[in-house]
Structure 1
Amino acid sequence: MRVRIRAAAATALAAVAFLPGCSVAGNASSSDEITLVVGYQSKTINTVTAGTLLRSLGYLERRLGPKYRVEWQDYDTGAPITAKMVAGKIDIGSMGDYPLLINASRTQAAETARTALVSVTGYNLRGGLNMVVVAPGSHATTLADLKGGKVSASVGSAGHGTLVQALRRAGVDGVETVNQQPPVGASALQAGDVAAYAQFVAWPGLLVFKGQARLLYDGSALGVPTFHGVVVRRAYAKERPEVVRAFLGAQIDATRYLHEHPLEAAEAVAKATGLPAEVVYLYNGPNGIATFDVTLKPRLVEALRNDVPYLASIGGDFKPVEVSRFADDSFLRAVYGSSYAADVAATANPARITGADPACGVPVGDPGTAGELWVSGTTTRPAATPTCLLRQIRDLGGTYRAAYVPDAATGTRWFADKAVWVRDPARDAASRFLPFTTTAGAEEYVSGHGAARVVDFRTALKEA
């Protein structure tokens, strides 16, 4: 399979070059103050524990004290962060898995620029952080329907990597990738200039929430782990190890805060980014699409190693990456504590939906069926199954902020009113209605269950 890339990959990756006009990172702004430059992506909400949320909480500044000044630089993608790390103008950065590979490839040539992957922000073991959406009125229901069309993606991004893998696995050729930044691509989709839009968290969820797109492909269908992580310039870490320790300690604190105060964290990120809190909570809330855990898990490192061939597929003069050298958890182990080994081995989302379902009168347990209803303000209700959640919505008369359900096949958390619902009369009453993120997923289930039928959301509410 060959995916054609317009506005050539070389143009997209030219951003990974020297960028002037910025003070040298790590330098003292005065004789008494040292500047730490952190590159982050505010709207890439899978990185909030190393960016948006961390910044709003002030944990890093508190740990560093008055001797340091933290300069936060915000970008839409990881490419410009890598560019400035190569130039020595960003000390610590966070980005997705494919941009991390590019970061490793671009920085390893120079000793002063070489970086290390030191922690993870959030991950999804099935790949659900990246998705492909189409316009609401599109007739496309599978990736095959995009053949001969154009897809907007940020070349070199995690969303683009998922698109390449998904098209290859589906055996779909003849798709033209239009290299665009996420906001530009969103506009192109609405204008009808592209047939689809392949991006990373939280862009697909945002467009669907606003009614500007429909989910065509859930990255979880790949079954390949995807994650975002933190990189540090090794030269900087050697010069100022206390800063790296402070950053990782602060990231751990921010991760704990997100787990303990998920609604407050979602509201804080929403305020800082302009994203709807309901969209932030879709990804970062309990049982969210993103699992927040700073440890460098072997499954994630192995997934990164398996992604290395992607560098050759997008063109550009990329040097091979030695992932075993790039991934270095020695910095994290130094500050984490005695539970590191156990937490590395754990993959269950530590932020889970718990409590008693008020509609079905049973405790909420299985994350594969548990949902959540955000009633208003900071009031949420747990749901044991999607059917029980439908009953809660009906009892409320349809007035609520957001309702979340897990895809019946992949477990991807999704908006209940944007899901594709299936009624299966062969199942018991409390689990008769099944949500899917995509039409393809729902139709696959129906094809294997004789009496099952796709129904719209209103019908599901009425019959639940």
Structure 2
Amino acid sequence: MLRTALAGLVLASFTLSACAETIRIAIGTQDTTINCAAGGLLIRELGLLDKYLPHDGPYKDARYEVQWKNFTSGAPLTNEMVAGKLDFGAMADFPGSFNGVAFETAGKHSLFISVLSGSIKGSGNGIVVPSASPVQSLAELKGKTISVPFASTAHGMLLRAVAAQGWDPLKDVNIIAQPPEVAGSALQAGKIDAHADFVPFAELFPSRGFARKIYDGSQANAPTFHGALVDQAYAKKYPEIVVAYLRASIEANQLLTAEPEKYSELIAKVTGVDAEVNYLFYGPLGVQTRDLSWKPEYRQAVGTAIDTLKLLKKADRGLDLNTFIDDQYIRAAFKASNLDYSAQLANYKPTPLTAVDALSGKAITDFSHVAEIWVRGEAKVRQYASAESAFTALASLKQEGKNIRAVYAQASDSGIKLLADQAWFASDAQGHLSAFLLKGQAQQFATAQGGKVFDFTDATTQAVAVR
């Protein structure tokens, strides 16, 4: 029995006399932070939790009262968890670490129980500038105003990026606090020079045409993730419920892998975040991996977050990572779902792509130059082995009067999925195209290969001309 497998987790006070009680399951979500979807939005919208809640043994006659509350950031969610109004919460490494500190300060304890989505390189966080800005790289922002949600995972990325430039964050740049909903308007009005943010805003703002991404978190090479937390006292009293919640998260991730377009549309319907942006994260070879295992890099991210929070004077105490990060529940959830946790812990591959080139019909075996097209009205995204193949198909689709929702390209250096109309392309001596986030990266490649640099419009023209 599962309860036997979780021996040692149950408080002695939890006896059969509690069988008929009504058990609250109060979950705090961040719907617009789309890589929390497997820990909140999808579980709620698809009713996944009910499938796994226990109804035997001590829970034979238990009644469940499931409560959901949505937040736009982690700080107010943490406040309600500490106040005892919520049992679970989904948030990023930085606010998650602050959650642990806040609980300790209140004489309580919270547990980081799983990762939901992340990147060991740091992708997901990013810096954008107004679309009309001449700025092409972070190095050009010295002396400029950069806004960021304070004490967020993006704030930590920005501080690391500034330090890597050799700048003093208090003198060489003007960093101001601004949530994404305010920053979007500020970018459009030209009131700030740049904005640093977490998922999905560094992709969403460019997708909507008023910003351009000039820095990806992977350039800082600092792991980042969003994960799930629980009040420790609750977890000890109801360990099977914690495992049930995580099993629901596992199924949500499996559904996203199987049908990323379908669930990108659902997330868009609930949040207003465009499905085309959701697919950047949830599609094959996406910006982040949906990985519930506690890889060493994610443990490191929590430690880095705690240190940075001290630097920001948002925390004056540390946390014991060995007790704050508790993987016994996710291990139990994997076992109950007949999955191999150790195998997943060792798996660093992105969400896989198994497809044929939609133009040639040949199987795609090299994923370094993959490009994709999402045609409006089509349930599935079309995949291509190369940008040249995709751009040739794009020209034909436009001639046919098709409405194109999005074009994607894989960055040749970092491997992250890009919005192709925001990317830069460089040719080699044979004319083959490689995609890059930054113009400088494309120029460096072109110089080394004896090729040329193209923006999206010129790259599509070039590809059609060559073929």
Q: Same fold (TM over 0.5)?
A: yes
Distance across 1 between alignment mates of 2:270 and 2:420: 26
- Does 2:117 align with 1:122? yes
Taking the TM superposition and a 5 Å limit, the aligned residue runs for 1:347-362 are 347-349=348-350, 351-362=351-362
C-alpha contact 2:101 2:315 (8 A) present in aligned 1? no
Give the deviation of 1:361 after TM superposition.
Answer: 4.6
C-alpha contact 2:261 2:380 (8 A) present in aligned 1? no
1:104 match: 100
1:391 match: 392
**Secondary structure of 2:105's aligned partner:** coil
**Secondary structure of 2:318's aligned partner:** coil
Q: Given the alignment, which residue of 68, 76, 81 partners 1:85?
A: 81
Residue type at the aligned position of 1:168? A
1:456 match: 455
Residue type at the aligned position of 1:104? G
C-alpha contact 1:106 1:319 (8 A) present in aligned 2? no
Distance across 2 between alignment mates of 1:440 and 1:161: 24
Aligned sequence identity (%): 34
Distance across 2 between alignment mates of 1:457 and 1:269: 28
C-alpha contact 1:126 1:220 (8 A) present in aligned 2? yes
- Does 2:232 align with 1:234? yes
Distance across 1 between alignment mates of 2:389 and 2:22: 56
Give the deviation of 1:454 after TM superposition.
Answer: 1.6
Taking the TM superposition and a 5 Å limit, the aligned residue runs for 1:74-223 are 74-111=70-107, 113-173=108-168, 174-223=172-221
1:401 match: 405
2:443 match: 443
Distance across 2 between alignment mates of 1:212 and 1:438: 17
- TM-score w.r.t. the length of structure 2 is 0.87
Q: After the TM superposition, which segments of 4 or more aligned residues of structure 1 sit over 4 Å from their partners?
A: none
Residue type at the aligned position of 1:269? I
Distance across 2 between alignment mates of 1:201 and 1:192: 22
Residues 393-445 of structure 1: CA deviation (Å, up to 9, x unaligned): 12212732211111111111011111112222x14x5xx11111222322332
C-alpha contact 1:374 1:401 (8 A) present in aligned 2? yes
1:379 match: 380
Taking the TM superposition and a 5 Å limit, the aligned residue runs for 1:313-328 are 313-328=311-326
Q: Compute the RMSD of aligned alpha carbons.
A: 1.8
C-alpha contact 2:310 2:317 (8 A) present in aligned 1? no
Distance across 2 between alignment mates of 1:302 and 1:352: 25
Distance across 1 between alignment mates of 2:418 and 2:296: 28
C-alpha contact 1:154 1:179 (8 A) present in aligned 2? yes
C-alpha contact 2:310 2:316 (8 A) present in aligned 1? yes
Give the deviation of 1:302 after TM superposition.
Answer: 2.3
Q: Which moved more, 1:147-156 or 1:439-448?
A: 439-448
Residues 168-202 of structure 1: CA deviation (Å, up to 9, x unaligned): 11223311211111101111111111110100111
Q: Given the alignment, which residue of 250, 254, 260 partners 2:248?
A: 250
**Secondary structure of 2:225's aligned partner:** strand
- TM-score w.r.t. the length of structure 1 is 0.88
Give the deviation of 1:245 after TM superposition.
Answer: 1.4
Distance across 2 between alignment mates of 1:243 and 1:40: 17
2:340 match: 339
Residue type at the aligned position of 2:444? E
C-alpha contact 1:122 1:227 (8 A) present in aligned 2? yes
Q: Given the alignment, which residue of 418, 423, 426 partners 1:422?
A: 426
Residue type at the aligned position of 1:457? F
Q: How many residues align?
A: 427
C-alpha contact 2:110 2:231 (8 A) present in aligned 1? yes
Unaligned runs of 5+ in 2: 1-19, 56-61
Q: Which moved more, 1:226-235 or 1:366-375?
A: 366-375
